Amino acid sequence: MTKAEQVLNWYMELDINVQLPEDIKVLNPYRDMSATTKDALVEFYARFYGDDKPRKLLMGINPGRLGAGLTGIPFTDTAALRSVGIEMPEVNTTETSAEFVWKLVEAYGGPERFFGDWFIGAVSPLGFIRLNDKGNWVNFNYYDDAEVFEMLKPFILDQLKLQIEIAGNATDAYLLGTGQNAKAMKTINDEYGLFKSITALEHPRFVMQYRRKRLDEYLDKFISILR
């Protein structure tokens, strides 16, 4: 079975069997995906993961509303897909984190080389939104509430094991997010011993929002570590 087949089978069966608080909803882009959006998803993975070669494992936090929460592909918006000739006609979005990651992909040597070396996933492959005090639904991370984190742990553990298998029995994890994501992953790894090592890098959104003037410096840092 190719990596593409493994990933797509996993995505199409993704669900969370957890009774979350009423003010939190799950973002599952795969559940009601249109035929044309699914075609683009299949094309992406068939093109870049149509083999059985092992990859190293790079993980974000969880999908956001404007990136993987719509496209189903971590750190990839429709602008990034368009750059490799893949169209999602019913979805149109740009996302800050995706912009950084795709600059990284190009600096690494292009998508064939990058995705040939790396599988990008997420600690939680499904995302969340929470109703705030103003009545707006906003992004919510799996670690933002200690009680919710404990509720999600069994789901997250299962998904981490699946991603380890998909990558090719990865023994090391590379994380995007040096703060709460790294802290939460350390908690999980201390408890379950999934990885020999965890290397945390700054989250793309942090770089683009607060360190954009040093973008080239961060790209060089990421390349030196990921290569």
Burial 78-113 (b: 16+ CB within 10 A, else e): bebbeebebebeebeeebbbbbbbbbbbeebeebee
Separation of alpha carbons 157 and 161, rounded Å: 6
Beta bridge mates, 176? 201
Strands (E) located in 94-227: 118-122, 127-131, 137-140, 172-176, 197-201
At the topology level of CATH, where does 3-226 sit?
Answer: Uracil-DNA Glycosylase, subunit E (3.40.470)
Where the chain has pLDDT below 50, the residues are none
Beta bridge mates, 119? 57
Look up the pTM and report it.
Answer: 0.94
Tokens linked to 219: 């790209």
The bridge status of strand 127-131 relative to strand 137-140 is antiparallel
User: What are the angstrom distances between the C-alpha of 226 and each of 36, 116, 174, 208, 221?
Assistant: 33, 13, 8, 19, 9
pLDDT in tens, 49-94: 999 999 999 999 999 877 788 899 999 999 999 999 999 988 888 8
Write phi, then psi, for 35 (nearest 5 degrees).
Answer: -65, -40
pLDDT at 91: 82
Separation of alpha carbons 11 and 74, rounded Å: 12
pLDDT at 65: 75
